[in-house]
Structure 1
Amino acid sequence: MVDPIGAKPKISAQRPVSAVAQSKRGDRVKENAEQDAASIASTARSFAEAPPVDAERVARIRQAVKEGSFPITPATIADRLIALKLQWRPHD
């Protein structure tokens, strides 16, 4: 095994080591993690209850495609396919 480069701490046998009080930070981190997990679970349940699709918008688009009034441009489709392939998000 290779030792890291840099200064190494000196340990003296004559120097006493005192006990360190336990930090309350660990407790706060645990509480925050539990709250985050509960929040994520709540959000997941709310998403599971309703479909993430706007049915009215889908119906409008279907109707426009049937009527031939929905603007389909090959360049836009190609750009979006390339962006999807590259996982690029132009509006973020």
Structure 2
Amino acid sequence: MVDSIGPRPLDRKVGGVTRVGTVSAPPTVTKQPQAVQAPTVAARLSASAPVDIARVEKIKQAIAKGDYPLSPTTIADALVAARYEWMSHDEA
């Protein structure tokens, strides 16, 4: 006689099943007091924006006098470029 092609039924015997008692509650988590850490370089740098106050003041004065060249096209290009840069980091 010829065996059929394809999967053959397996003779698996299942052993007895033992019931587990009630599940105990998970251990409680106690909050540890946080250690006081010295501020890191990143924490100090993120506390304030990296702005050159003196340069900003010079630019403000130049704009007020009319000596600072403002180009709407250049500003628009920079804003569009910043938006595309920002979009490139978004998750899809």
Q: TM tier, shorter chain? A: 0.3 to 0.5
Q: TM-score, normalised by structure 1?
A: 0.44
Q: TM-score, normalised by structure 2?
A: 0.44
Instruction: Specify the structure having the higher radius of gyration (Cα).
Output: 2
Looking at secondary structure, tell me which structure has more helix per residue: 1
